[in-house]
Amino acid sequence: MRLQVPRRFLTLDLMKGIGLLFIFYAHLGLYWTNGTWESLWEFQHMLYRPIGPANYTICSIIGLLFSLSKSEYIFALKGKHPRNLSRIIKRALIFTFIGSLINVTYVWPELFNPAYNPWYTVLRILCSWNIITFIGVAQLVVYFTRKLNVKVQMILAILPIVAYYVMAPIIIDSFGAYGYDSYKDALITGAPMNAPIMVYFLFFYQNSMAPFFPWISIAIFTSIVYGHLMQSLATGRIDNLRHAIRKVKYVSLAFLVAGIVLGIQFSYGTFETSGYGRLIADEAIRTWNPAWPGFPLFLHMNHPTNMIYSFGLMSLITMFLLERIDLGGRQPPWLKSIAVCGKYSLTIFVTHGVTWLVPLSLGFFLFLPVFTVVTISVLLLVYYWDKKHKGMGSIEWATRRLLQWEPLAMKWQRISRLDTPGPQQSWHVESRKS
């Protein structure tokens, strides 16, 4: 069966756009709160967090798999080999650079602390895993692992989860010995820095959006689950589309159930308890009973079971929408207005932090209408920017041009290779009746 597959999946932009709205809600709720609804904010954040890091990782890796498969297919028809690796490396470097600039604001107090080793400070800037830094590295990892045997990929995906459980008790013991404040999730100023604590802040830090361990597993899981489907869609041919889609749904559902079952145990927190402290805050709207022994592990930010649950949930939603919107052709105009925010999600994410400078202190019921007005204004502004100026000046616009940039020496070398006669290769492309 021959498929008319779109050049760009609207579903991926839509999911990123929706995720961006929730990120707006979470961050503006932190910036503009008057401190009377911490419990409500934490409870909401606990429920909708999968649409943040898990959603962005899944959408980015699906887009990468489709792009790589399509590029390889087109170049194969021409008898050439695509230069995908250089583009992936460039993109990873660009994302790491942008992410590091954001990280400087996060670790600013540590930059001038003489108790910290300068090399550690540099690593903290590079390895404070905001979603931009993480996706840049995750795409590079997936590029090198996607064509490995599925069993090997599964082992590589499970190893970060194993590393989490192995390192957790070692790091927690170091916290007790070196004065780590688990409630505030901060190292006591001037406390000595030993190897386990350095490893924690570089790879396990719970206040990161997507710490490398265990979140790199979700990128490899996405590659395993969606690899064959994206390859088939990129070539426009698939023997049984419904069967392939159903398979992805069943696997996603299995991840969702596994995350809940494995993480049903209640806990106050593995590395830190600040989230639980906010959840039971003594306020007018208290959302959690302090008599309960914590809350389920699959709802704990950055716990392996939370990652597995989040992957299953967001993969199921993404596949459901992909089937109906892109492959089913159901694309009402209001979807596109939200999806355009996903198209420029990187620019919006980087710049939305300026709202922190707005000195507002709002209760929850006043925050809601203010948030609604700000969100609608951003949607209209971005939609106009895309329609009128095609996103000119955005980070996405600049990234595309950097990825297309080629040094003059390399360009002449490529032209000379094209002019040089070489052995002819024949490529057989299978054709089927629609």
| In the predicted structure, residue 432 carries a pLDDT above the cut 60 | no
What is residue 421's predicted lDDT score, i.e. its pLDDT? Answer: 47
Is there a contact between 306 and 263 (Cβ–Cβ < 8 Å)?
yes
CA pair distance 431, 77, nearest whole angstrom: 13
Going by the DSSP 8-state scheme, the letter that residue 188 receives in this structure is P
Give yes or no for a cis peptide into 214 (omega within 30° of 0): yes
Chain mean pLDDT for the chain: 84
Residues shown for the chain: 434
What is residue 418's predicted lDDT score, i.e. its pLDDT? Answer: 47
pLDDT in tens, 72-100: 888 888 888 888 888 899 888 999 899 88
What is residue 280's predicted lDDT score, i.e. its pLDDT? Answer: 94
| In the predicted structure, residue 39 carries a pLDDT above the cut 90 | yes
| In the predicted structure, residue 425 carries a pLDDT above the cut 50 | no
Q: Where are the alpha helices (DSSP H) in 179-240?
A: 195-199, 212-235
| In the predicted structure, residue 411 carries a pLDDT above the cut 70 | no
Structural tokens at position 93: 């470097």
Helix 304-321 vs helix 241-262: crossing angle, to nearest 10:
150
CA pair distance 345, 131, nearest whole angstrom: 11
pLDDT tier for residue 299 given thresholds of 50, 70 and 90: very high
pLDDT in tens, 256-296: 999 999 999 999 988 878 889 899 999 989 999 999 999 99
pLDDT in tens, 95-148: 989 988 888 877 776 677 776 667 777 777 877 888 999 999 999 999 999 989
pLDDT tier for residue 423 given thresholds of 50, 70 and 90: very low
Structural tokens at position 356: 């922190």
| In the predicted structure, residue 414 carries a pLDDT above the cut 90 | no
| In the predicted structure, residue 25 carries a pLDDT above the cut 50 | yes
Mean pLDDT calculated for residue range 326-354: 85
What is residue 426's predicted lDDT score, i.e. its pLDDT? Answer: 36
| N-terminal to C-terminal alpha carbon distance within the chain | 5
What is residue 429's predicted lDDT score, i.e. its pLDDT? Answer: 38
Is there a contact between 379 and 335 (Cβ–Cβ < 8 Å)?
no
Mean pLDDT calculated for residue range 407-428: 46
Give 70's contacts (C-beta < 8 A, 6+ positions apart). Answer: 234, 235
| In the predicted structure, residue 183 carries a pLDDT above the cut 80 | no
Q: Which of 241-250, 256-265, 329-338 has the highest mean pLDDT?
A: 256-265
What is residue 430's predicted lDDT score, i.e. its pLDDT? Answer: 40
CA pair distance 391, 305, nearest whole angstrom: 38
What is residue 192's predicted lDDT score, i.e. its pLDDT? Answer: 59
What is residue 327's predicted lDDT score, i.e. its pLDDT? Answer: 81
Half-sphere exposure of 231 (CA within 13 A, CB side): 10
Q: Where are the alpha helices (DSSP H) in 357-407?
A: 364-389, 395-404
pLDDT tier for residue 305 given thresholds of 50, 70 and 90: very high
What type of residue sits at position 428? H
What is residue 271's predicted lDDT score, i.e. its pLDDT? Answer: 83
What is residue 78's predicted lDDT score, i.e. its pLDDT? Answer: 82
Structural tokens at position 168: 């957790």
pLDDT tier for residue 405 given thresholds of 50, 70 and 90: low
pLDDT tier for residue 238 given thresholds of 50, 70 and 90: low
CA pair distance 363, 244, nearest whole angstrom: 48
pLDDT tier for residue 191 given thresholds of 50, 70 and 90: low
pLDDT in tens, 212-237: 999 999 999 999 999 988 888 887 76
Q: What percent of the chain has pLDDT over 90?
A: 47
CA pair distance 414, 26, nearest whole angstrom: 48
